[in-house]
């Protein structure tokens, strides 16, 4: 094992931890999105945390060598940056704990300083530069016909993953086979792991098809997403609980993801960070959810404002007492599907 390195969770689709590889500096003009690289931690502060390939968190210290992937992030509430913005000095940031590496160009004042790292070199296996794209199974498009409960948000951190976990738990009470997936976002393993912890029989995200984040050109994303849907479709699930990371209007290709599964969407749950965001998403994206939840529903004032302003049902599904109503709404949306009879 390569114990001298810290393998971040973006390496989980690869055999790099058990594979002999070389590290070689490559000219910037030859870098590509998704390239596996080695960087050295140059931050001086303590308690820096990295997400490992198994999802556990570990502290990293100055001088540690981290294996991650070049990528892009455009987080409205935290930080934005890209590997394309790295300068000749090779200094960049760990843009997520998962090992998404690039130069941060904008950061919220509310966010703790990110881990500073410096480029050491690209990973080469048998003389070839290793890219995330090299390590996932290429599937023949077999179609996707599983009914979908879709979770979208007005922004990041609006409560989508929390809602997904609650829905999965409720579905599993009825012995329903569930696949949980996150189709867009910036690579973190914890979100889909939490879906598995909630009872999902299988879990997937865009990392499984070679994307460090879903920010890429539309052709690349569409091909990767179709591959991901083929993988999901082969698991014999009764239903898919699917999260679109961030919001559909951000540059994570959420609009393409939704379009690819449009005919499968039976219920849409919008998680909102504030009531006016619900109105904005509905107007901008032409979306009318079956239910609104998330941070905006934490108080009765929020739920009433959503219902009065937008004319849609709002429930704080963190409250166990409202979950029977939530499931009643979902069951109604699944009318005519085989899974309806199980709920």
Domain ranges of the chain: 5-135, 148-342
The CATH fold assigned to 148-342 is Rossmann fold (3.40.50)
Provide the 3-class DSSP secondary structure of residue 165: helix
**Per-run averaged pLDDT (10 residues), the chain, 343 residues:** 85 94 96 97 77 92 94 87 96 94 88 88 96 91 91 83 95 96 92 95 97 96 96 93 81 92 95 87 84 92 92 95 96 92 89
pLDDT value of residue 248 = 67
Measured CA to CA, the distance from residue 145 to residue 183 in angstroms comes to 16
pLDDT value of residue 226 = 95
Kind and range of the H or E run holding 70 = strand 65-70
pLDDT value of residue 185 = 92
Provide the 3-class DSSP secondary structure of residue 149: strand
pLDDT value of residue 162 = 93
DSSP characters over 231-277: HHHTS--SEEEEEE-S-TTSTTTHHHHHHHTGGGEEEEEEE-SSHHH
Please tell me the number of Cα atoms within 13 Å of 151 on its side-chain side.
31
pLDDT value of residue 275 = 86
């Amino acid at each position: 094992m390569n114990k001298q390195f810290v393998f971040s969770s973006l390496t989980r689709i690869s055999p790099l931890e058990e594979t002999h590889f070389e590290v070689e500096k490559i000219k910037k003009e030859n870098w590509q999105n998704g390239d596996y690289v080695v960087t050295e931690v140059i931050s001086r502060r303590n308690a820096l945390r990295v997400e490992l390939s198994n999802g556990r968190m570990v502290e990293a210290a100055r001088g540690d060598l981290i294996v991650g992937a070049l990528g892009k992030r455009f987080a409205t509430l935290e930080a934005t940056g890209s590997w394309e913005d790295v300068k000749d000095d090779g200094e960049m940031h760990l843009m997520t704990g998962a090992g998404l590496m690039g130069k941060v160009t904008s950061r919220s004042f509310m966010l703790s300083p990110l881990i500073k790292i410096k480029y050491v070199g690209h990973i080469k296996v048998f003389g070839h530069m290793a890219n995330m794209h090299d390590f996932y199974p290429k599937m023949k498009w077999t179609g996707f016909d599983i009914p979908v409960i879709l979770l979208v948000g007005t922004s990041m951190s609006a409560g989508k993953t929390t809602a997904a976990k609650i829905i999965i738990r409720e579905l599993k009470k009825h012995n329903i086979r569930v696949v949980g997936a996150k189709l867009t976002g910036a690579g973190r393993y914890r979100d889909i792991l939490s879906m598995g912890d909630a009872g999902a029989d299988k879990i997937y995200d865009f990392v499984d098809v070679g994307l460090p984040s879903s920010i890429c050109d539309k052709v690349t994303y569409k091909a990767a997403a179709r591959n991901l849907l083929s993988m999901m479709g082969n698991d014999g699930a009764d239903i898919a609980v699917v999260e679109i990371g961030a919001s559909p209007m951000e540059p994570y290709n959420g609009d393409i993801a939704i379009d690819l599964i449009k005919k499968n969407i039976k219920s849409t749950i919008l998680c909102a960070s504030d009531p006016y965001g619900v109105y904005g998403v509905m107007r901008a994206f032409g979306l009318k959810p079956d239910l609104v939840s998330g941070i905006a529903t934490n108080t009765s004032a929020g739920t009433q404002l959503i219902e009065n302003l937008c004319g849609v049902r709002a429930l704080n599904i963190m409250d166990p007492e409202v979950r029977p109503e939530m499931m009643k709404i979902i069951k109604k949306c699944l009318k005519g599907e085989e899974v309806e009879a199980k709920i």
